Amino acid sequence: MAIKQDPKVKSFETRLFINGKFVDSSDGGKFDLVSPTTNEKFAEVSEATEDDANAAVAAAKAAFPAWSALSPSARGVYFKKLAALILESHNDLAELEALSMGRPVSGYFESYAAADSLNHYAESGYQALGTSSLNTPGFVNMTMRQPYGVVGAIIPWNVPVLFCINKTAPALIAGNTVVLKSSEKAPLTSAKIATLVEKAGFPPGVFNIISGHGHISGNVLSHHMDIRVISFTGSGRTGRLIQQAAAKSNLKNVILELGGKSPAIIFPDANLEKAVQETKHSIQWNSGQVCMANSRIYVHESIAPKFIELFQKGFADIKSGDPLLPETNHGPQADAIQYKQIQSYIEEGKKTGKMVLGSEPPQHQSGFFVQPTVFLDTPEDAKVMKEEIFGPVVNINTFKDEDEVVAKANDTEFGLYAAVYTKDLSRALRMAKKLESGNVGVNCTSPTGAPDMPFGGYKASGVGREGWTVSLDNYLEVKTVIIRVDEE
Ligand code: NAD
């Protein structure tokens, strides 16, 4: 495996972006970034202190009156500039993600998706409409929809640019100001976006971006009395802490996009090659570090041997290696913590199921590489069937009939994405209705999605929905105005 790690982006921003200025953290503190490919330190990034997080919120609060007073189209002008700058920075963003969290530059698409979102939201501000009613005699009543004020956004490391834009753009176009905290594992693309926010000319304080660990600056944001909405994507553990912090402070609204243990169900009439190709991609893409990856596959027993044979062969085209090389399509796991956690799940999986693909980590390798791993015939109550592994590890089990597989698929606390492969339309729709999941793919699986469809989880996979048609609502309060109209 060739490990090169020689990016074209030699220098990059690592400071905090508060009130339109790049600043070091108030106590000069920094945290290390270690390459997941070489296990060597390559950068130091500013660690936002409690004071820094408070300063970012204060800047956002001060910027709110003027920003919210602008027309949606005046706000949208900045969005269009930012979208163009993000597209121009495609290569830099791809390389920065490869450096910090090991995502292969091949197939990097987030810059396009982020620019699409910005261009969409640039035009969407006028959808913030109220209603009116003549239904109460003697009154003309109406609702107004208004921004909350300061919105907090806390994002994970696996697809950072998308989360950064998909949370902040609807909040900003609705007239809120924002403080975004990036993940300590992948802060470089958010810091890069901050340089583009500055270039796009957003007024100071409107869009603040800070880096650092969750228990320090993230904790300040989730407890902050001046933050009225917080949008979070990450683990269930942190989601629960954020909800508790909201309850203990000002009962801010909380939107949570959390983890998954997504099932994919393959019926005998499915297009087998397509089902194999797509379920394999789902669990391998981004080295399995995807909330909605199909980590449990249920195949009808009549086609299981063929499916498993093709699935194993499919993994043969994986090119594991330096994520900066164009031919690599399987990078390392994001960091040592993720790597160790996945290895321990693999050890656990060996005790409960039959491992038919996967290997011991090569001793000579310093990076955090995990071979795609397949377990068969694992008991439904085994740890690896119940808990989110967040790596390229999949359990393939069999089923006999529809009721049995629905019960197995739903026997989880998660409910983010379920997939069904069948040519029988009635069966597909029956399954779509029965599966306890925020998203159901029919003859497709994750990460297939649609930007104008709500995305979010049932059960412990989340609270609320995000997406082009619903996100604006997350960031607008509703005010009822009751107007008495005097008789002549
Ligand atoms: P994480 O919960 O460890 O961290 C997410 C963010 O929360 C980071 O920015 C972190 O610094 C911050 N944080 C940590 N502790 C905090 C605290 N006490 N207060 C405030 N903020 C805190 O999650 P992760 O490891 O970055 O991401 C992986 C998880 O995210 C997986 O569970 C995955 O399924 C989930 N995820 C969900 C979706 C979705 O859309 N549903 C998408 C991607 C990832």
Q: Which conformational region is residue 288 in: left (phi greater than 0), alpha (psi within -120 to 50 degrees), or beta? A: left
Rg over alpha carbons for the chain, rounded to the nearest Å, is 24
For residue 317, what pLDDT is reported?
78
pLDDT (mean) for 249-266: 98
Tokens (6 digits) for 427: 């069966």
Question: Domain 16-258+464-478 in CATH: superfamily?
Answer: Aldehyde Dehydrogenase; Chain A, domain 1 (3.40.605.10)
What is the best residue among 180, 238, 248 to mutate for testing ligand 1's pocket, by most ligand atoms within 8 Å of CB? Answer: 238
Distance CA 488, CA 17 (A): 58
Instruction: Give the side-chain half-sphere CA count within 13 A for 252.
Output: 29
99 CA to centre of ligand 1 in angstroms: 20
**Could you identify the residue written with the tokens 């001046």?**
226
Peptide bond connecting 305 to the previous residue in cis, omega within 30 degrees of 0: no
| 212-249 pLDDT per residue, tens | 999 999 999 999 999 999 999 999 999 999 999 999 99
For residue 68, what pLDDT is reported?
98
What is the best residue among 101, 154, 282 to mutate for testing ligand 1's pocket, by most ligand atoms within 8 Å of CB? Answer: 154
**Could you identify the residue written with the tokens 């197939």?**
107
For residue 10, what pLDDT is reported?
80
In the chain, how long is the greatest CA-to-CA distance? 90
Local confidence band at 8 (pLDDT 50, 70, 90 cut-offs): confident
256 CA to centre of ligand 1 in angstroms: 10
6 touches 323 (CB < 8 A): no
| End-to-end CA, the chain | 86
Q: CB within 8 A of 215, min separation 6: which ones? A: none
Q: What is the pTM of this model?
A: 0.97
226 touches 381 (CB < 8 A): no
Does the pLDDT value for residue 1 go beyond 80?
no
Peptide bond connecting 204 to the previous residue in cis, omega within 30 degrees of 0: no
**What percent of the residues of the chain are helix, what percent strand, and what percent coil, each to the nearest 5?**
40, 20, 40
Distance CA 138, CA 134 (A): 8
260 CA to centre of ligand 1 in angstroms: 12
| 288-343 pLDDT per residue, tens | 999 999 999 999 999 999 999 999 998 877 899 999 999 999 999 999 999 999 99
Tokens (6 digits) for 341: 């956690």
Ligand 1 lining (C-beta closer than 6 Å): 154-158, 181, 183-184, 213-215, 218-219, 222, 233-235, 238, 241-242, 257-260, 291, 388, 390, 416, 457, 462
Does the pLDDT value for residue 276 go beyond 50?
yes
- Closest residue by Cα to atom 30, ligand 1, is 234
Domains 16-258+464-478 and 263-452 share a fold: no
Local confidence band at 126 (pLDDT 50, 70, 90 cut-offs): very high
- Closest residue by Cα to atom 18, ligand 1, is 215
Instruction: Mark 366-391 as b/e (b = at least 16 C-beta within 10 Å).
Output: ebbbbbbbbbbebeeebebbebbbbb
3-state secondary structure at position 362: coil
Distance CA 73, CA 80 (A): 10
Neighbours of 320 (CB within 10 A): 20
Domain positions in the chain are 16-258+464-478, 263-452
Strands (DSSP E) contained in 134-211 are: 139-147, 150-154, 177-181, 207-210
Distance CA 297, CA 264 (A): 5
CA–CA distances in Å: residue 317 to residues 35, 320, 327, 430: 25, 9, 11, 35
Catalytic position from the list 13, 47, 95, 257: 257
Distance CA 27, CA 29 (A): 5
| 338-373 pLDDT per residue, tens | 999 999 999 999 999 999 988 766 544 789 999 999
386 touches 261 (CB < 8 A): yes
Phi, psi of 61 (to 5 degrees): -65, -40
Q: What is the mean pLDDT of the chain?
A: 96
Tokens (6 digits) for 194: 């901050």
Distance CA 275, CA 284 (A): 14
- Closest residue by Cα to atom 14, ligand 1, is 214
For residue 423, what pLDDT is reported?
98
Neighbours of 340 (CB within 10 A): 12
> Would you give the distance in Å from CA 70 to the centre of its chain?
30
Share of residues in the chain with pLDDT > 70 (%):
98
For residue 467, what pLDDT is reported?
98
3-state secondary structure at position 338: helix
Instruction: Please identify, by atom number, the ligand 1 atom nearest to the C-alpha of residue 456.
Output: 41
| 424-444 pLDDT per residue, tens | 999 999 999 999 999 999 999
CA–CA distances in Å: residue 446 to residues 262, 277, 382, 431: 9, 12, 23, 16
For residue 364, what pLDDT is reported?
47
169 touches 118 (CB < 8 A): yes
253: which strand partners? 229
Neighbours of 80 (CB within 10 A): 15
470 touches 462 (CB < 8 A): no
Query: Closest Cα partner for 358 from 393, 329, 391?
Result: 393
**Domain 263-452 belongs to what architecture?**
3-Layer(aba) Sandwich (3.40)
Could you confirm whether 257 is annotated as catalytic? yes
Local confidence band at 4 (pLDDT 50, 70, 90 cut-offs): low
